[in-house]
Structure 1
Amino acid sequence: MTDNTTPSSGFPPSFLAARERANIAADAERGAWEALARRTGTGQDETHAWRKAHEESRAAQDAFADEVKAWFSRTTLD
C-alpha cells in the first residue's frame, strides 16, 4: 500500500522538487558559462549573468542536499 504523498520512486515530493530545481539551476549556470565563454568585448553582462546563475545554482544544490539529509534521516529511523 502506498500513500498519496510519496511517489512510486519512494522519495517525497519535496525531495523530487528540490532535485528538479537543482537540475534546472545547474542547466542555467551551464548556459551562462557557455555564453561567458563565447563573449565578445568585456563580457561584463555575461560575467554578471554567470555569477547570478552560479549563486542560484549553489542555493538550489544546498536545498537539495538538505532534502537528501532529511530523507536519509527519515529512512534510517524506519
Structure 2
Amino acid sequence: EDLGLRQAGGIDIPGFEGRFGVDFQEMFGPAAAPFINSGKMGLDAQCCRLTREGMLLLDTIAAELSEIIE
C-alpha cells in the first residue's frame, strides 16, 4: 500500500496514526533517522516527506520503510 511517501506532500502523520492505530515516529523513527540525518527526509509531528535529494532515492527509502510493515 502506498503510504504517501511518493507524493510531494508526504505522509500525513496524524492521518496515518488514526488509520493504522500506531505511533508513526515510534514505528519508523529508527529506520528514518539515517535519511533524516543525511538531509534526504524531513519529519515533524505533522508530516514525513522526502527532500529533493531524497526523491532521487525514493525506491530505496520506500523499501527500507516497507520492511518494517511486512
Is the pair's TM-score, using the shorter chain for normalization, greater than 0.5?
Answer: no
Larger helix proportion, structure 1 or 2? 1
Q: Which has the higher contact order (CA 8 A, sep 6+)?
A: 1
Higher Cα Rg, which structure: 1
TM-score normalized by structure 1?
A: 0.26
Larger strand proportion, structure 1 or 2? 2
